[in-house]
Amino acid sequence: MRLDKYLVHTNTCTRSEARNLIRSGRLLVNGAPPKAPDLKINEGLDLVTLDGREIKYEEYSYYMLNKPAGIVSACEDKREGTVMDFFKNEPCKGLFPVGRLDKDTVGLLLITNDGDLAHRMLAPNKHVWKTYYTELESPLSDGDLEKLKNGVDIGDETPTLPSRPEFAGESRDKVFLSIHEGRFHQVKRMFEAVNNKVVYLKRVTFGPLKLDETLKEGSFRKLTEEELETLK
């Protein structure tokens, strides 16, 4: 890989800035200043440093974000803050959120630049399960729970597919709901279909990933090797 491309991919600088950075003497490759931006870099062997700090190359990066409320699940938005604002200083280009959480929904969001993985996680025919913790306006009856389990009419052409609802402990106004579809505002609309209303919504699983409860809202971390292996 060319050195200037390496610098761009690791979010060090833009391609137009690379030449000036190389001339500055602050950048070293294997301890020596490079002479040109087209210097070939072996990503697995060569050591690239800027001001003494190693610039590591990763083809793909994977992060778990505990999304806070009030933030849009998008790469950019002209009016709102987005989840990608948290990743401005991460050394990787092309990151994006895998799927969306509503603006007022919190919890697990996968951030990556691996398009193939994102497709596998989101493709309807893959049936990837997602679990949400919900707090409701009113207690849920056993009958309503059964309706949710079998699928409900949320105003679309077809009812929702069968889901997996269960009470969160003894309280009937706190429910875990697992679904493997991704319709617009689906969880909220499913509870509306049984004459209830979601007042708090948090995604706690996405496929095999489980939200790290030690992550505060607005915090993120890289996936562990075990999580990544399970995900792939």
Query: Shortest CA distance to 107 belongs to which of 11, 229, 191, 198?
Result: 198
Pairing status of strand 106-112 against strand 96-97: antiparallel
128 close to 180: Cβ distance less than 8 angstroms = yes
Helix (H/G/I), strand (E/B), else coil: 51: coil
Q: What is the 3-state secondary structure (H, E, C) of 1-16?
A: CEHHHHHHHCCCCCHH
Helix (H/G/I), strand (E/B), else coil: 115: helix
- Read off the tokens for 103: 């603006």
Degrees, nearest 5: CA angle 121-126-128: 55
Backbone φ, ψ for residue 146 (5° rounding):
-65, -40
Number of residues that this document lists for the chain? 232
4 noted as active-site residue: no
- The single residue of 4, 102, 114, 144 carrying the catalytic annotation is 102
Just list the catalytic residues.
102
